[in-house]
Amino acid sequence: MSIVVNLNTVLAERNLKSKELAEMIGITEANLSILKSGKAKAIRFSTLEAICKALDCQPADILAYKKE
């Protein structure tokens, strides 16, 4: 997929673990793993909003378009 999820980078910058983020935004670790691995087909605005709020970042910090 051309959309890349940079969640690992943002998490590392903030010294946060996946488990902590999953608890903060109220999704399972399994779902967060799907999102991080790029296997997810779509992301809800509500999830994106929760991630941005928890990590204090913009959607563009998490998602990027990469030409294949």
Q: How far apart are CA 46 and CA 60, in angstroms?
A: 15
First to last CA, the chain: 8
Phi and psi based region of residue 46 (left: phi greater than 0; alpha: psi -120 to 50; beta: remaining):
alpha
Instruction: List the interface residues with another protein, window 11-30 (CB under 8 A).
Output: 27
Which span (9-17, 37-45, 56-64) binds another protein, by CB under 8 A? 37-45
Report the residue from 44, 45, 56, 66 that binds another protein according to the rule CB under 8 A: 44
Contacts to another protein by CB under 8 A: 27, 31-32, 34-35, 39-44, 47
